[in-house]
Chain A
Amino acid sequence: MKPLLDQIHHHYGSRRVLEDISLAAVPGEIVALMGPSGCGKTTLLNLLAGLLSPTAGTVEHWAIPTAYVFQEPRLFPWYTVLENIALGLKAQGMARRQRLQRARTLAESVGLATAAHLYPPQLSGGMKQRVNLARAFAIQPQLLLLDEPFSSVDMGTRQQLQQLVMTWVQQHQTTAILVTHDLAEAVVMGDRLLVLSPCPARIVSCLHSDRPSHQRDPAYVYRTLSDLQTRPEIAASFNLNPPLETARSFTP
């Protein structure tokens, strides 16, 4: 286990957002972070990305390079798909021809082969998110931060993109931190689920998946989901209705 965050506290003015958060991860692991809206999940990713400094505690920046897949695509409108994917490589000083070559290979692997020369305004939402993902993959990150990256795409695309991320993390032994609102997504993708409390966020529960990612079939997901929803700390964190006692008393 490599430490990422050590006893982090973070305030925005007088508002406490994060309290005593420590986090460590192993390469090839997807950690799914869940919690109610506005509980500070994105703040946590911004700390890990170095976009923010914590009020107290330490952020370990061993994972270089770090890539961040933002919730919105945030593509550069003046760059084509390929140029957007190659952005991080340009920052690393790779020659244009070489980086566009690598971007083309990546574009093909995320299903954008025919869109390579289009500009962002010409892309659909799902295509933009594919570019967002490929841009992150391009720099071969040690740490991959994902902030609800699939929340605005259709179900089929979502499944494909989830699969892409899981395969990538496996193959490249990347550490991934996935923020999600979607319990099902957390169950499908997460090797470990961390549940945060409402503001200020604390880690209230840490659950390890008992199956490797390729064995999480729909039946498993469905079973795990219904099991998780009855746990009081998860119900509280997601503001779910408490499980109905009457529902259990049905008899055949």
Chain B
Amino acid sequence: MVSRQSIAKKISLKTAIARPSRFRSVLLSLSMLVLLLGLWQWGAQQYTPVILPTPVAVLAAVRSLLGEARLWAAIAATTFHVVTGFSLALAIGGLLGLLTGRQPWVQPALAPISVALLGIPPIAWLVLTMVWFGLGHANSIFTVAVTVGPLVFAGVAAAVRDLDPDLVAVAQVYRLEGKARLQSLDWPQVVSRLLPVLVAGLGLAWRVAIMAEVLATPDGIGAELNTARANLDTAEVMAWIAVAIALVLTSDTLLRRLQGRLLPWQAAAFSSRGR
């Protein structure tokens, strides 16, 4: 026999799983974090600090970094690489994408290049840049630009090419032309499709920049990571990883804020989805 109470309990449990409350989801995240830290602590006790330092040791390393000038120098260098490389990718990829979207005959000419660039692993570029540029900022900047550029190119080309034909017909009927059409139709549609691509591209830019710095650039977070590794200071290596995570999260949050500011209607659509 199933009692009425147990059915009620089952139903309430079901709704709770389907739609976790804010409290519940925070609780879940926190307990997962505690579990991970526990595992980490346990692992650290099994091995030497060179293999796996304790969470407390890493925290201490982060703290001491916060008081040092080289932290800010490294952040500045990495940010410089990312911003310059990403801007180059935006400018070149964006222009070519715009051209391809507007003039379909360009597509077959540029497509093979784009596919080839997308297919080349960033590390391969790094090997080439070391030959071309030696060790310096250029390695990191170039690798970021050449990795993110094709992504931007493909995104812009698709956004410009695939205008919604239904809305284009509306624009035609109501004689929306020239600047007014650009403002009302082309630009908002391109921006709305492009911002998600940019969010993904910027995340990629950080990872590629730091990787390039580890191997081929004398400054930046990646270079500091490399130095810490050479010193067998694993706690500091992990502290730098924490710094990198914090940076990526910050840039991601900023870009998403911008997205919310530029596309208020998407936020409106999101908030009304439960209706």
Which residues does A use to contact B, with CB under 8 Å? 49-51, 65-68, 70, 72, 74, 76-80, 87-88, 90-93, 118-122, 135, 139
Contact = CB atoms under 8 A, between A and B. Distances in A.
A78 B180 contact: no
Interface of B: 166-167, 169-170, 172-177, 180-181, 184-185, 188-189, 192, 263-265, 268-269, 272, 275
Given A119-B268, A121-B269, A122-B269, A79 B173 contact: no
A78 B192 contact: yes
Most interface-central of A67, A74, A80, A120 (chain B CB within 10 A): A74
Contacts of A88: 174-176
Contacts of B263: 78
Contacts, number: 72
Contact of A122 (B174, B184, B189, B272): B272
28 contacts: A50-B172, A50-B173, A51-B172, A51-B173, A65-B174, A66-B173, A67-B173, A70-B170, A74-B166, A76-B170, A77-B192, A78-B192, A79-B184, A87-B170, A87-B174, A88-B174, A88-B176, A90-B176, A90-B184, A91-B174, A91-B177, A91-B181, A118-B268, A119-B264, A121-B265, A122-B269, A122-B272, A122-B275
Contacts of A118: 268
A117 B169 CA distance: 24
B101 to A, nearest CB: 19
A79 B181 CA distance: 13
A76 B181 CA distance: 12
B269 A74 contact: no
Contact of A77 (B174, B175, B177, B269): B269
B174 A67 contact: yes
A160 B162 CA distance: 36
Contact of A76 (B167, B173, B275): B167
A79 B189 CA distance: 11
